[in-house]
Amino acid sequence: MILAALVNGLALGAGYALLAVGWTVLLGAARLVNFAHGQLYMLGAFVTWFAISRFGLPYGVAVPVALVVVAVLGVVLQLLMTRMTLDQNIVNLMLVTLAFGYLLQGGAALLFGGDPQTIDSPLQQQDLALGAARFTGQDVLIVVLALAFYALTFVVLGRTDLGRMVRGVAEDPKLAQLYGIDAARVYLAVFVFSAVCAALAGAVVGPRSPILTSMGFEEVIVTFLVVVLAGVGNLVGGLVVAIGLGLFTAFFGTFFPPAYSTAAAFVVLLVVLVVRPQGLAARR
């Protein structure tokens, strides 16, 4: 049972990590708190489902389609918010993303209907076992993708000109202008990256359980738990905290009613906020 919870927690945590990686970069670079993040996750799952069930696309093709759709949506949303982002009007940014999220949820409900759906992924049928623990090929895919995305983000941020531009804008967007960097384009790139990560998380975590257009709110909370516990902008900390949160949820769900697991994690967060407001992993 311990092993089963461990494997399940790993898959859960990897999903959380994938969900949070874009937000970590976004919040670090643009100080943009995106409350529509969970709805982008929901859309990632639902567009994948729609592409499979309506157009008969295989899962492997439906996922990239969903990513492109959400990326385009991300471009539109960020272009609408460019002015606010440049002004760093954080209050209005939070409010407008909240409105976007609600809008997307209403739109998705009209478009996709209110019934629970399942994403048909061939990997979900591949049963694997490690001792007593059973898992699926889908779980493996989630873990591999999460690790790959963290590695990719780590390398891009640390080693490439694009990453340096993002870090520059994160440190001082005004100064970045003098370096010839167009902060608006960097914000756009980071926002779209964040949206695509959320959509990917939705598309690969979605097949594990039925999906609803009303999901997405808990996902924002999970992302937020990961980012704040790790310390804003802390990438490695984010991965560790996400996996830790996944394990926590899995083990909590083994012994207590699973519905309370996010609430329990939230109580942990409240305690951390009182004791260490800068996050668990932050050095300062």
Partner 1 sequence: MTADVATRGTTGAPAARRVPTWARALLWVVLVALAYLLPSLLGGSDRIYTTVVLVAIFAIMSYGVDVVLSYLGEVSLGHTLFWAAGAYTTAILAVRSGWTPIPALLASIVVTVLLALLLGLATLRTREFVFSLVTYAAAIIGLTVVQNTQALGGSDGVVGVPLLELPAFGGTYVARTNAELWPIALVCLVLVVLLVARFRRSRLGTTALMAQMNGELSTAMGVDVRRTRMLVFVLSAPITALAGWLYAYQRSYVSPDLLSPTFLLFMLTAVILPGRRLLLGPLVGALLLTSQQQLASLGGDADKIVLGGVLAVVLLASPTGLVGIWHGLVRRVRGSRR
Partner 2 sequence: MSALLDVADLRVRYGHSLAVDGVSVRVGAGELVAVAGANGAGKSTLVDAVAGWSRGRPAVTGSVRLAGQDVGRLAAHRRAGLGLVLVPEGKGVFDGMTVQENLRVVRPPRGTAGRPYSVDDVLDVFPRLRERIAARCSTLSGGERQMVAIGRALRAAPRLLILDEPSVGLAPRLVVEVLTHIRDLVDAGLSVLLVEQNVRAALEVADRLHLLDQGRIVASGTAAQMREDDRVAQAYLGGLGP
Residues at the interface with partner 2 (CB under 8 A): 161, 164-165, 167-168, 171-172, 174-183
- The site for partner 1, by CB under 8 A, has a size of 44
Residue 225 site contact among partner 2, partner 1, none (CB < 5 to 8 Å, cut-off depends on kind): partner 1
DSSP 8-state code for residue 231? -
Residue from 129, 259, 283, 284 touching partner 1 (CB under 8 A): that is 259
Q: Does 188 bind partner 1 (CB under 8 A)?
A: no
Three-state SS for 219? helix
Report d(CA 259, CA 249) in Å as an integer: 10
Q: How far is the CB of 281 from partner 1 (least distance, A)?
A: 15
Site for partner 1 in 69-98 (CB under 8 A): 80-81, 84, 89-92, 94-96, 98
Residue 183 site contact among partner 2, partner 1, none (CB < 5 to 8 Å, cut-off depends on kind): partner 2
Using CB under 8 A as the criterion, what x/- string covers residues 206-245 for binding partner 1? -----------xx-xx--xx--x-----------------
Q: How far is the CB of 175 from partner 2 (least distance, A)?
A: 7
Cα–Cα distances (Å) from 207 to 49, 59, 61, in that order, read 9, 10, 15
Q: Does 129 bind partner 1 (CB under 8 A)?
A: no
Residue from 262, 268, 281, 282 touching partner 1 (CB under 8 A): that is 262
User: How many C-alpha atoms does 95 have within 13 Å on its Cβ side?
Assistant: 6
The rounded radius of gyration (Å) of the Cα atoms in the chain is 18
Partners of 128 in beta bridges: 135
Report d(CA 220, CA 213) in Å as an integer: 14
DSSP 8-state code for residue 207? G
Q: Does 280 bind partner 1 (CB under 8 A)?
A: no
Contact by Cβ (8 Å): 15, 246: yes
Three-state SS for 123? helix
Using CB under 8 A as the criterion, what x/- string covers residues 155-174 for binding partner 1? --------------------
CB under 8 A: which stretch of 42-50, 56-64, 198-206, 252-260 binds partner 1?
252-260
Q: How far is the CB of 205 from partner 1 (least distance, A)?
A: 18
Residue 35 backbone dihedrals phi, psi, to 5 degrees: -75, -10
* The two three-digit tokens of residue 282, written as one number: 């932050």
Residue from 8, 48, 85, 105 touching partner 1 (CB under 8 A): that is 105
Residue 127 site contact among partner 1, partner 2, none (CB < 5 to 8 Å, cut-off depends on kind): none
Helices (H), 88-179: 90-112, 137-159, 161-171, 173-178
Q: How far is the CB of 180 from partner 2 (least distance, A)?
A: 4
DSSP output for 239-257: HHHHHHHHHHHHHHHHHS-
Contact by Cβ (8 Å): 235, 154: yes
Residues at the interface with partner 1 (CB under 8 A): 31, 33, 35, 80-81, 84, 89-92, 94-96, 98-107, 109-110, 114, 217-218, 220-221, 224-225, 228, 257, 259-260, 262-263, 266, 269-270, 273-274, 277
